[in-house]
């Protein structure tokens, strides 16, 4: 598994596993558990979840999937903005840890920014770190102005900005991605296959055929070709997990990249950060 270095020096896999929309249907539960466990077997040991997903049930599912394997996992969860006050963050983290059946998170993120001042949330993250309940903290859905504010507040240890990034959402290439790269802050790309909506795009199909691959693998290989970027696709089946893991072996060539640039042009001016 290719790795990516966090500012702390610790390495994480460039390809992880998302969990949004998991634990929403009882009939899918066993396959979702099997998919997450297979992902661990294949080295996709970064698991991304959130208190928001399925109202906590996704965290419970992850807790079950990693039982007996906690030390293999780089576990990421997120606090909702309405819980992100000094005291609320501590309470939300305690609840997440209980649902995840663990005593620590490897990375705790502010899910997105609302009215709570950033320094309150950062203070709470630091308290949680001192108490050993989280090992790193970071943010999600923060554009460059918010990131700048965070750094000015003294938040240089921010471990990642988790943002929407895929072929059809390239806005961050204009500013946020180079800004983070300069500061060695990794980007964690969410919805790397645009929740499946990229799969039917003709250029992806053409390139997939050329490589004996699938459009999902091409979409992932494209995100993963960037230095300093990790991707966290969500796969609810073992078949999709295997396929996603194999995307790491695909090398897109100059012709492929040119075709993709034509179909999904890179930004030529600032675009506000898109979110899902």
Catalytic residues: 53
Binding test (CB under 6 A) with ligand NAP, winner from 85, 89, 121, 140: 140
Angle formed by the axes of helices 86-100 and 118-130, to 10°? 50
- Judged by beta carbon, residue 97 or residue 235, the one nearer ligand NAP is 235
Secondary structure class of 110 (helix, strand, coil): strand
Binding test (CB under 6 A) with ligand NAP, winner from 40, 124, 235, 250: 235
Q: How many residues make contact with ligand NAP (CB under 6 A)?
A: 28
Q: Is 136 in the site for ligand NAP (CB under 6 A)?
A: no
- Judged by beta carbon, residue 53 or residue 102, the one nearer ligand NAP is 53
What's the gap between Cα 107 and its chain centre?
11
Contacts of ligand NAP in 160-179 (CB under 6 A): 162
Interface segment toward ligand NAP; rule CB under 6 A; list 80-88, 117-125, 175-183, 232-240? 232-240
β-sheet bridge partners, residue 187: 161, 229
Interface segment toward ligand NAP; rule CB under 6 A; list 67-75, 127-135, 178-186, 191-199? 191-199
Q: Which helix (H) or strand (E) holds 238?
A: helix 238-246
> What is the residue whose two structure tokens read 């309940």?
133
Q: Is 191 in the site for ligand NAP (CB under 6 A)?
A: yes
User: E-strand spans in the chain?
Assistant: 3-5, 11-13, 46-48, 74-79, 107-110, 137-140, 161-164, 187-190, 229-231
Interface segment toward ligand NAP; rule CB under 6 A; list 12-20, 98-106, 149-157, 167-175? 12-20
- Residue 227 makes CB contacts below 8 A (sequence gap 6+) with 181
Structural tokens at position 251: 């090398």
Minimum distance between the CB of residue 27 and ligand NAP, rounded to whole angstroms?
Answer: 13
Secondary structure class of 63 (helix, strand, coil): helix
Q: Is 216 in the site for ligand NAP (CB under 6 A)?
A: yes
Q: How far is residue 113's CA from residue 99's CA, in Å, rounded to a whole number? A: 24
Q: Is 138 in the site for ligand NAP (CB under 6 A)?
A: no
Rg (CA), the chain: 18
Residue with the closest Cβ to ligand NAP? Answer: 18
Is residue 225 within 8 A of residue 252, CB to CB? The reply is: yes
Q: Is 276 in the site for ligand NAP (CB under 6 A)?
A: yes
Q: Is 95 in the site for ligand NAP (CB under 6 A)?
A: no
Contacts of ligand NAP in 33-72 (CB under 6 A): 48
Is residue 65 within 8 A of residue 33, CB to CB? The reply is: yes
Binding test (CB under 6 A) with ligand NAP, winner from 193, 218, 221, 230: 193
Minimum distance between the CB of residue 150 and ligand NAP, rounded to whole angstroms?
Answer: 16
Q: Applying CB under 6 A, which residues contact ligand NAP?
A: 18-20, 48, 111, 140-141, 162, 190-196, 199, 214, 216, 232-237, 240, 243-244, 276
């Amino acid at each position: 598994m290719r790795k990516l270095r966090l500012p702390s020096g610790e390495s994480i896999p460039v390809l992880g596993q998302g969990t949004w929309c998991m634990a929403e249907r009882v009939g899918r539960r066993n396959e979702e558990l099997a998919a997450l466990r297979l992902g661990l077997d294949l080295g996709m040991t970064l698991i991304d979840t959130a208190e928001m997903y399925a109202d906590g049930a996704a965290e419970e599912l992850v807790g079950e999937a990693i039982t007996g394997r906690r030390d293999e996992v780089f576990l990421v969860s997120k606090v909702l903005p309405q819980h992100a006050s000094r005291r609320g963050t501590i309470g939300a983290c305690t609840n997440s840890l209980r649902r995840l059946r663990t005593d620590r998170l490897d990375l705790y993120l502010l899910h997105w920014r609302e009215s709570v001042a950033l320094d309150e949330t950062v203070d709470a993250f630091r308290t949680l770190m001192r108490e050993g309940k989280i090992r790193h903290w970071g943010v999600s859905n923060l554009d460059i102005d918010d990131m700048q504010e965070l750094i000015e507040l003294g938040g240089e240890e921010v471990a990642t900005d988790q943002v929407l990034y895929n072929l059809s959402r390239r806005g961050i290439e204009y500013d946020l991605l180079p800004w983070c790269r300069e500061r060695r802050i990794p980007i964690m790309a969410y919805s790397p296959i645009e929740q499946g909506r990229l799969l039917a795009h003709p250029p992806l199909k053409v390139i997939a055929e050329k490589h004996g691959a699938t459009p999902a693998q091409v979409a992932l290989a494209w995100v993963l070709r960037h230095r300093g970027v990790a991707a966290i696709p969500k796969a609810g089946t073992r078949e999709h997990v295997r396929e996603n893991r194999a995307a790491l072996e695909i090398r897109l060539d100059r012709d492929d990249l040119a075709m993709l640039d034509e179909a999904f042009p890179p930004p030529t001016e600032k675009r506000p950060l898109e979110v899902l």
